[in-house]
Chains A and B, each alone.
Chain A
Amino acid sequence: MRDKAAAERVFEQVQAAARALGVSEVEAMMASGNQALTRFAGNAISQNVAEQSTLLSVRPAIDGRTARASTNRLDADSIRDVVEQAVALTRLSEPDPELLPLASPAEYAAVRRHFEATARTTPEERALAVSEAIRVVEDAGQTAAGIYSTGDSTFALLNSRGVRAWYEESLARFSITAMAGDSSGWAKASACYHGDLDPPSLAHSAARKATQSTAPRELPAGRYTVILEPAAVLDLVGQMFGDFSATAIRDGRSFLNDRTGRKIFGDNITIWDDAVHPLQAGAPFDGEGVPRQGLTLVEKGVVRDIAYCRQAAAQAGAAATGHGFPLPNEYGEAPANIVIAGGDVPVAKMIAGTERGILVTRLWYIREVDPYEKIFTGMTRDGTFLVEGGRVIAGVRNFRFNQSLIEMLSSVEALSPPERASGEESFDMVAPAMKVSNFNFTEVTRF
């Protein structure tokens, strides 16, 4: 599905097959992608892969019923087969009195997130960038591991009511871990244009952290002031956005069950969902083809907007916000383009203003402990430091935390300017670093 015309041709076949079965209401999602990833470890390229993939997914709506069938084959027989599968599943499914007719056509915000040069990056180009980054870490007497990925994807959503949503995106990611004898450092970045990434600079940053954290001290568990770099902020704070969902609240599974409109975070916490933010990526429409609206999720600590898919909006008498997942699903909707307002205190200044605290590069294996108090556990990783007297003075052994997000976002003392940040536990977002008081470290590990 390299272009809109090809998607339209496939959809004509989908509609024809559906009509032959007496079905007029039908939606199709089509996706294609070329992704490549060069992985390195032990200062050498270790795994080096590329994949090309296709998806056609068909959803009819018949007498209040709906179901989905998908294939990765686009020959005429396969298209007819997948439509027959979808129709058969739908007819055997249970009717849903709240199922709405398919979405109507809409205008979508124009975003430019596809760069041909990024899509066409060659294995050699990735290998050269990787070898340069490895050299930086090797020169520091350390061992490097990481990835450099590039690729592009297209996504089309069409339906028999005239929705014609099309999105294309390229994406590059570079991440690197530098390992010294008893310490490590990490850095990562992602961008729609690979030229916005700076692998040598990321390698220097990771190597510097590994050097600074050698011979880590063991500190006791307890409450500490922490400075969370943006990747640590997004990986932890990112765990709560699935709850900003009308369906989650209706189900009783959201921590916002009785908290919308209430001030639950500090005055300095404001969070938006903004699909067209220049540092964001992703389609400007949702899984039914509804345009994504901007949301003010949190304003000066007060929970304001929540996301509504079409069905949740109809139940609540509200407008759909364009955050619905493809139907049928159990989870409704969630914001996906998070922008956390920042402040004017860069990390260096946070450190300079800290008498005693812990600087955290990255968090790992974050899992929910308590769904209502929004307590999460996880570990620090790859660059955890003791700050004393306004300076980073040593690396420390990694901590386990058990921390309520409500408490944490009520205890933010300073924020840095926000940036596009990338972690491993949540999706990329625009986030600042945060200085947080009384962060709850409950255990210390062996390294």
Chain B
Amino acid sequence: MKELALRALDLVARRGVTYADVRVIETRERDVSTKNGKAGHVSSSESMGLGIRVLAHGCWGFAATDDLTGAGVEAAAALALEIARSGTAAKKRDIELAPEERYEATWVSPIRIDPFSIPVDRNLAVLLAVDAELRRNPRINMAEASMHFERKRQLFASTPGSVIDQTRYLSGAGFSALCYQGDEIQKRSYPNSFGGQYQLKGYELVEELDLPAHAPRIAEETVALHSADQCPEGRFDLILDSSQLGLQIHESIGHPIELDRVLGSEANYAGMSFLTLDQLHHLRYGSEIVNVVCDARPEHGPGLGTFAFDDEGVPAQRNDIIRAGQFVGYMTSRETAPAVGAARSNGCMRADGWSRLPLIRMTNVSLLPGRQTLDEVFDVEHGIYMETNKSWSIDDKRYNFQFGCEIAWEIRRGKRVRMLKNPSYSGISTEFWNSCAAISGPEHWTLWGVPNCGKGQPEQVMGTGHGASPSRFRDIRVGTAYAG
């Protein structure tokens, strides 16, 4: 891979580029799923290719190919240069990059059990055991369970001389149960919706999740939702479980702090951000107990945003985003960092494969744990506790959001008193975070994986990490989704 990357780099370096980098990527994936007692999706895939990014004539050009013959790589190199030259037809200024050191490094994400060493029939046996447990409840119409494993090795080489070899292992697993009855469909999932939990781990993640042990409760809750009361509409103190809070962080903090959005690069698709440059160091984003970091370092945990170097060769970093409620930082790239007066990128450029250009993406954007016990978080006279995301939507500047959850409970004097179905809540991002009244401690903190974050044109799907612990928010609008 190194030889291939250096050969491709040499092809463009000799033709007068200001800067160039090459990423050669080899990916292996496995997906296994079951539905209603049968194997669902059993597949594996392998892919290898390279992407060449050049800065020439003051413009970017990028070309990717999986034709790794000499002729194929030469064609891609020539095309990248041609594309960069074409950009001069609509150029306002020459692209300039914040300086970065030269690195030579090798990094492999730590795993205990290589997921590809586990045979597929063993994967299926676990999933079918979960399936059987779920369908032991006769009112479950559909039981689904799945696992996903990935190994991605990337060789990055750049004209300043960096050569970085990184291998990341990723695992994911989860299940759901669905019950259709009368005029209603209800669903519950474990440990999270939309495929479960995803982390930068090996097969040990599947063992840690202990999927079969949770199946009876999930089936029971799915059925019980049909006879639960509808979540009321009104303003309540709201307690969120850590997985839902992880998605709340993703949508109402993670995306708004992407500096490319702020500067307009995503205006046509993903949108822009309410965090205009004048807000930096001035906006009170959250209450004083809210501290949020963007942390790609392995020390933060095995998140989907954990790596040693980003995809333009910048080392993983930890940056404060919200410090004691104050907005103090964006996620940046080498191109955008100067816009906020930074001397250097904070290392958030990521691409979803060899065929795509790196963009500013979330790494692990996490709410740091608080000091409250779980009992203190639940200590409200009258509130609502919601668990597990069901729907999520936010406007294109990231002000107004609405989330639905799979299940909720009414809380009175700190105790769950009744189950509620179809819960939802909504609000304005900064008002929501300023209403944060309690955050539970590190013993309840989980680093959740969002495996399907879309951004860019052509669209790229990226995995991001979000650490959170159950937290309470004051006076939140609840029940909007079924209002009117």
Chain A positions within 8 Å of B, measured between CB atoms, are 35-54, 57, 65-73, 82, 85, 89-90, 92-94, 96, 98, 122-124, 126-128, 130-131, 134, 143, 145-147, 149, 175-177, 179, 184, 186, 222-223, 251-253, 257, 328-330, 364-373, 375, 377-379, 381-382, 398, 400, 402, 424, 440, 442-447
State whether A41 and B264 are in contact (beta carbons under 8 Å apart), knowing that A48-B61, A68-B42 are contacts in the complex: yes
Report yes or no: A329 in contact with B41, Cβ–Cβ below 8 A: yes
Report yes or no: B271 in contact with A364, Cβ–Cβ below 8 A: yes
Report yes or no: A223 in contact with B47, Cβ–Cβ below 8 A: no
Report yes or no: A93 in contact with B45, Cβ–Cβ below 8 A: no
Task: Count A-B pairs with CB separation below 8 Å.
Answer: 294
Q: How far is the CB of B144 from chain A (nearest CB, A)?
A: 7
Q: Spot the interface stretch: B83-91, B106-114, B319-327.
A: B83-91
User: What are the interface flags for B29-44 relative to A under an 8 Å C-beta threshold, 1 for contact and 0 otherwise?
Assistant: 0000111101111111
Q: How far is the CB of B106 from chain A (nearest CB, A)?
A: 24
> Which of A72, A131, A402 is within 8 Å of B484, CB to CB?
A402
State whether A443 and B402 are in contact (beta carbons under 8 Å apart), knowing that A42-B263, A377-B391 are contacts in the complex: yes
Report yes or no: A44 in contact with B83, Cβ–Cβ below 8 A: no
User: What are the interface flags for B448-484 relative to A under an 8 Å C-beta threshold, 1 for contact and 0 otherwise?
Assistant: 0000000011100000000000000000000011111
Report yes or no: B38 in contact with A96, Cβ–Cβ below 8 A: yes
Between-chain CB contacts (< 8 Å), 8 pairs: A48-B61, A89-B42, A92-B124, A370-B481, A379-B395, A424-B269, A440-B484, A447-B397
State whether A93 and B120 are in contact (beta carbons under 8 Å apart), knowing that A47-B62, A85-B44, A364-B396 are contacts in the complex: yes
> Which of B38, B86, B93, B400 is within 8 Å of A445, CB to CB?
B400
Chain B residues, CB < 8 A from A90: 42
User: Can you add 13 more A-B contacts, CB < 8 Å, to A130-B90, A402-B402, A443-B402?
Assistant: A38-B86, A39-B268, A41-B268, A44-B90, A44-B91, A49-B357, A65-B39, A93-B39, A94-B34, A186-B268, A369-B391, A402-B482, A442-B484
State whether A143 and B357 are in contact (beta carbons under 8 Å apart), knowing that A48-B84, A253-B185, A329-B40 are contacts in the complex: no
Chain B residues, CB < 8 A from A364: 271, 395-396
CA A253 – CA B426 in complex, angstroms? 26
CA A82 – CA B391 in complex, angstroms? 38
Interchain residue pairs A-B with the least CB separation, the first 8: A252-B180, A252-B141, A123-B86, A445-B400, A145-B267, A127-B89, A70-B45, A67-B42
Q: How far is the CB of B36 from chain A (nearest CB, A)?
A: 8
> Which of B48, B458, B483 is within 8 Å of A442, CB to CB?
B483
Q: How far is the CB of B133 from chain A (nearest CB, A)?
A: 17
Report yes or no: B480 in contact with A54, Cβ–Cβ below 8 A: no
Q: How far is the CB of B392 from chain A (nearest CB, A)?
A: 6
Check if B274 is an interface residue, CB within 8 A of chain A: yes
Q: Is the interface of B mostly helix, strand, loop or mixed?
A: mixed
Chain B residues, CB < 8 A from A71: 45-47
CA A446 – CA B272 in complex, angstroms? 13
Tell me the chain B residues, 105-151 only, with Cβ under 8 Å from chain A: 119-121, 124, 128, 141-142, 144
Report yes or no: A43 in contact with B393, Cβ–Cβ below 8 A: no
CA A57 – CA B453 in complex, angstroms? 26
Check if B244 is an interface residue, CB within 8 A of chain A: no
CA A143 – CA B265 in complex, angstroms? 11
Tell me the chain B residues, 381-415 only, with Cβ under 8 Å from chain A: 390-397, 399-400, 402, 404
Report yes or no: B142 in contact with A67, Cβ–Cβ below 8 A: no
CA A427 – CA B397 in complex, angstroms? 24
Chain A residues, CB < 8 A from B142: 251-253
Report yes or no: B268 in contact with A176, Cβ–Cβ below 8 A: yes
Q: Spot the interface stretch: B63-71, B162-170, B285-293.
A: B63-71
Report yes or no: A443 in contact with B458, Cβ–Cβ below 8 A: no
CA A380 – CA B124 in complex, angstroms? 43
Chain B positions within 8 Å of A, measured between CB atoms, are 33-36, 38-49, 51, 59-67, 72, 76, 79-80, 82-93, 119-121, 124, 128, 141-142, 144, 178-180, 183-185, 187, 263-269, 271, 274, 355-357, 390-397, 399-400, 402, 404, 422, 424, 426, 428, 456-458, 480-484
The closest CB in chain B to the CB of A176 belongs to B268
> Which of B45, B83, B424 is within 8 Å of A48, CB to CB?
B83
State whether A126 and B121 are in contact (beta carbons under 8 Å apart), knowing that A68-B42, A424-B269, A442-B484 are contacts in the complex: no
> Which of A131, A146, A400 is within 8 Å of B426, CB to CB?
A400
Chain B residues, CB < 8 A from A440: 484
> Which of B72, B180, B393 is within 8 Å of A365, CB to CB?
B393
CA A48 – CA B81 in complex, angstroms? 11
Most buried by A among B45, B49, B72, B142: B45
Report yes or no: A330 in contact with B86, Cβ–Cβ below 8 A: no
Chain A residues, CB < 8 A from B67: 52, 54
Chain A residues, CB < 8 A from B357: 47, 49
Report yes or no: A50 in contact with B64, Cβ–Cβ below 8 A: yes
CA A43 – CA B39 in complex, angstroms? 51
> Which of B33, B46, B265 is within 8 Å of A145, CB to CB?
B265
CA A179 – CA B142 in complex, angstroms? 46
Report yes or no: A94 in contact with B38, Cβ–Cβ below 8 A: yes
Q: How far is the CB of A277 from chain B (nearest CB, A)?
A: 26
CA A145 – CA B265 in complex, angstroms? 7
The closest CB in chain B to the CB of A32 belongs to B66
Report yes or no: A251 in contact with B178, Cβ–Cβ below 8 A: yes
CA A241 – CA B340 in complex, angstroms? 45
Report yes or no: A443 in contact with B426, Cβ–Cβ below 8 A: yes
Report yes or no: B87 in contact with A45, Cβ–Cβ below 8 A: yes
Report yes or no: B86 in contact with A443, Cβ–Cβ below 8 A: no
> Which of A50, A370, A446 is within 8 Å of B399, CB to CB?
A446
Chain B residues, CB < 8 A from A400: 393, 395, 400, 402, 426, 480
CA A330 – CA B86 in complex, angstroms? 44
Chain A residues, CB < 8 A from B72: 52
Report yes or no: A37 in contact with B457, Cβ–Cβ below 8 A: yes
CA A402 – CA B484 in complex, angstroms? 8
Q: How far is the CB of A274 from chain B (nearest CB, A)?
A: 27
Chain A residues, CB < 8 A from B187: 371
CA A48 – CA B355 in complex, angstroms? 13
Chain B residues, CB < 8 A from A82: 46
CA A176 – CA B128 in complex, angstroms? 48
Q: How far is the CB of B432 from chain A (nearest CB, A)?
A: 13
The closest CB in chain A to the CB of B142 belongs to A251
Chain B residues, CB < 8 A from A146: 268
Report yes or no: B267 in contact with A177, Cβ–Cβ below 8 A: yes
State whether A70 and B44 are in contact (beta carbons under 8 Å apart), knowing that A45-B90, A52-B66, A124-B89 are contacts in the complex: yes
State whether A53 and B267 are in contact (beta carbons under 8 Å apart), knowing that A45-B59, A94-B124, A372-B183 are contacts in the complex: no
CA A440 – CA B402 in complex, angstroms? 15
State whether A446 and B400 are in contact (beta carbons under 8 Å apart), knowing that A96-B38, A131-B90 are contacts in the complex: yes
